[in-house]
Chain A
Amino acid sequence: MKADLKELPVETMDLQMGPSHPATHGTIKFDLKLEGEKVLECDVAVGFLHRGFAKMCEQATWTQVIPYTDRLNYVSPLINNVGYALAVEKLLGVETPPRCQFIRVIMSELSRITDHLTCCGMAASELGAITVGFYLVEARELLMRIIEAVTGARLTISYTRIGGVKHDLPEDFGEQVAKAFEKTRRLIADCERLLSRNRIFIDRMSGTGAISRELALSYGLTGPVLRSTGVSYDVRKAQPYLVYGQLDFEVPLGARGDNYDRFICRMLEIGQSMRIVEQALEKMPVGPVLLDDPRVVLPEKEKVYNSIEGLMHHFKIIMEGIHVPAGEVYLPVEGGNGELGFYIVSDGGGRPYRVRVRPPCFIAMSAFHEMIRGAMVADIIPTFGMINMIGGECDR
């Protein structure tokens, strides 16, 4: 009887999942071809959040682009800020003061932790482990408060300036971080106990959404998705920018390239990021946080209000923009989801000629059909969750 049942012909069904689906956080559409519950083909349609980031950047001055970069990956906006500022500084040929570099590292790592916490928490809660979702979002909230105390905003932070950061860290920053990390570690340990031997969680994650190392490299995947296949590529190690070369940390690797390995990679990276922040706080020198270069940096407000030269200087930078020499640079940083690259072209004026962002999750989504082919509809949820597609960055 059972053998007969297997041979029954099954009609394929087309199903559109999305663009607004409760289990996919992010506006995206999957055009599925199904045979029962098995996914035969999956065509991913992105672009629902496209708002012309590159075109807008061409209209703005170099400094005015910074708020736009907040809205790329809005789960870890500080990394976008830092990446863009570093790219423009590379084109200008200037280097920021040491304290600023440490601050940028610390803030990037805090952002990375919030990114991974959001990703892991949401992925777990979509699989029914809502407690874990709440715990990790609580941990994220602790760090968000610190980010808010430093930058004045939670998501749209615009903290970096070209040539430095907006202002120094608050005085009790070290204690705030120590307290938040202690709690975060406890929450993560709780989640680990809830998940690491949880049958349902492992069944849903282990072996699903897998991609081979060769395919991952062919698709140009980066970040936790690539590292889960065992390829050790992290921009912070491969081409250390800022002060990452002076800090001791490890790059967690997976082996099988499935959702479970991605999850573990992200969870371990949270620990490494905490290590980086703690080391950086210890090593951080005192000094200015903004470059002392009148070509790049706005004058102090006191000069602007009290002297005509200061006012003119301020006016010129605001209205005309910083003059960046003609040329082109590509600068990659390690974002929450992988290599976040900025390719910028200047024609020597006060406005960018072209700003191109290499979006890690756009490229990860281009390999999505490979991860999901032959799997069940239900496997889409954890796979999509572990890629952590962020509409703002994917669709720009």
Chain B
Amino acid sequence: MEDSPNISYLRARLGGKILDSHAFRGDDTIVVAREELREIFRFLKEDPQIDLSFLTDITAVDYLGKKSPRFEVVYHLYSLKAGHRLRVKVPVPQEDPAVDSLVPLWKGANWLEREVWDMFGIRFRGHPDLRRVLLYEEFEGHPLRKDYPVNQRQPLVPERELAGTFVDQRSDNKLLQLQQKLTAKR
């Protein structure tokens, strides 16, 4: 298949860094290695001709048993000036699921990367605050992995201790009474 103009341009500029490319249904896609991820994205963002300065989305796909390496982190970029899009895919192995964070380039990468960590367990190196975002910290496993069963139950988690919380110690505090009752039962 012949490359689209944008992919030809990227092939000329990035050369061997592009592992694979396709333009299925008109969506320009390149596959790059994770080692030079940040430099490649810096180029895509700052190069005046390709000008992919708008980060649309970050997500991942788990190709368990279908592809090796197992995961692919998928980035969607958009050019506000030229109006074209590009999908960048980064293969990530199961043994060391981690890629460089793009937060230094785009602030919007923060929550999107947190969501990928939450759902797929892929770490982002250099992320300022890699916590779960949609699920709770005590959640076990990463639900969008293909080996996470759809009917998996989660253990009950104890109530969190909140440091510095104001507790009404007066005798008529019904909530306190209830708590004391419950602890006495246990």
User: Hey, which chain B residues are within 8 Å of A347, CB to CB?
Assistant: 66
User: Hey, which chain A residues are within 8 Å of B144, CB to CB?
Assistant: 54-55
Contact of A233 among B27, B61, B80 (CB under 8 A): B80
Q: Quick check: B24 and A327 within 8 Å, CB to CB?
A: yes
CB of A353 within 8 Å of the partner chain: yes
Given known A-B contacts A329-B24, A343-B76, A218 and B150 have beta carbons under 8 A apart: no
Contact of A47 among B74, B108, B134 (CB under 8 A): B134
Complex alpha-carbon distance, A238 and B84, angstroms: 9
Q: Quick check: B54 and A47 within 8 Å, CB to CB?
A: no
Select from chain B the residue with minimum beta-carbon distance to A13. Answer: B164
Contact of A91 among B25, B76, B132, B135 (CB under 8 A): B25
Complex alpha-carbon distance, A362 and B57, angstroms: 11
User: Hey, which chain A residues are within 8 Å of B55, CB to CB?
Assistant: 220
Complex alpha-carbon distance, A329 and B28, angstroms: 10
User: Hey, which chain B residues are within 8 Å of A367, CB to CB?
Assistant: 107-108
CB of B110 within 8 Å of the partner chain: yes
Select from chain B the residue with minimum beta-carbon distance to A92. Answer: B25
Given known A-B contacts A233-B80, A239-B83, A330-B87, A343 and B111 have beta carbons under 8 A apart: no
B40 to chain A, nearest CB (A): 19
User: Hey, which chain A residues are within 8 Å of B24, CB to CB?
Assistant: 327-329
B window 114-146: CB within 8 A of A: 115, 119, 132-136, 143-144
B10 to chain A, nearest CB (A): 17
Q: Quick check: A47 and B59 within 8 Å, CB to CB?
A: no
Given known A-B contacts A50-B135, A328-B24, A366 and B111 have beta carbons under 8 A apart: yes
Residue-wise interface mask of A (214-246) relative to B, using a CB-CB cutoff of 8 A (1 in contact, 0 not) = 010111110000000001010000110000000
Complex alpha-carbon distance, A58 and B63, angstroms: 13
User: Hey, which chain A residues are within 8 Å of B136, CB to CB?
Assistant: 47
Q: Quick check: A356 and B57 within 8 Å, CB to CB?
A: yes
Q: Quick check: B61 and A345 within 8 Å, CB to CB?
A: yes
User: Hey, which chain B residues are within 8 Å of A56, CB to CB?
Assistant: 150
Complex alpha-carbon distance, A54 and B136, angstroms: 17
Given known A-B contacts A54-B144, A332-B56, A358-B57, A366 and B87 have beta carbons under 8 A apart: no
Interchain pairs with CB closer than 8 A, number: 93
Q: Quick check: A215 and B107 within 8 Å, CB to CB?
A: yes
Q: Quick check: B108 and A356 within 8 Å, CB to CB?
A: no
User: Hey, which chain B residues are within 8 Å of A46, CB to CB?
Assistant: 133-134
What's the tally of chain A residues with a CB closer than 8 Å to chain B? 44
Select from chain A the residue with minimum beta-carbon distance to B29. Answer: A328
Q: Quick check: A330 and B85 within 8 Å, CB to CB?
A: yes
CB of A20 within 8 Å of the partner chain: no
Residue-wise interface mask of B (12-33) relative to A, using a CB-CB cutoff of 8 A (1 in contact, 0 not) = 0000000000001101010000
B118 to chain A, nearest CB (A): 8
Select from chain B the residue with minimum beta-carbon distance to A347. Answer: B66
Contact of A238 among B76, B83, B87, B106 (CB under 8 A): B83
What's the tally of chain B residues with a CB closer than 8 Å to chain A? 37
CB of A334 within 8 Å of the partner chain: no
Select from chain A the residue with minimum beta-carbon distance to B146. Answer: A58
Q: Quick check: B61 and A353 within 8 Å, CB to CB?
A: yes
Given known A-B contacts A239-B83, A332-B56, A343-B57, A327 and B134 have beta carbons under 8 A apart: no
CB of A261 within 8 Å of the partner chain: no
CB of A14 within 8 Å of the partner chain: yes
Complex alpha-carbon distance, A218 and B103, angstroms: 10
User: Hey, which chain A residues are within 8 Å of B110, CB to CB?
Assistant: 366
Given known A-B contacts A46-B133, A347-B66, A217 and B61 have beta carbons under 8 A apart: no
User: Hey, which chain B residues are within 8 Å of A217, CB to CB?
Assistant: 53-54, 80
CB of A287 within 8 Å of the partner chain: no
CB of B112 within 8 Å of the partner chain: yes
Complex alpha-carbon distance, A363 and B57, angstroms: 9
User: Hey, which chain A residues are within 8 Å of B56, CB to CB?
Assistant: 220, 332, 339, 341, 358
CB of A93 within 8 Å of the partner chain: yes
Q: Quick check: B74 and A343 within 8 Å, CB to CB?
A: yes
Chain A residues with a Cβ under 8 A of chain B: 14, 46-47, 50, 52, 54-56, 58-59, 90-91, 93, 215, 217-221, 231, 233, 238-239, 327-330, 332, 339, 341, 343, 345, 347, 353-354, 356, 358, 362-363, 365-367, 395-396
**Pairs across A and B, CB under 8 Å, 13 listed:** A47-B133, A47-B135, A52-B143, A218-B107, A221-B108, A327-B25, A330-B27, A330-B76, A345-B61, A356-B59, A356-B74, A358-B57, A367-B108
Chain B residues with a Cβ under 8 A of chain A: 24-25, 27, 29, 53-57, 59, 61-62, 66, 74, 76, 80, 83, 85, 87, 106-108, 110-112, 115, 119, 132-136, 143-144, 148, 150, 164
Sample of 15 more A-B contacts, CB < 8 Å, known A220-B55, A356-B59:
A14-B164, A54-B144, A93-B25, A218-B106, A218-B107, A220-B54, A220-B56, A329-B27, A330-B76, A339-B56, A353-B61, A362-B111, A362-B115, A363-B112, A395-B134
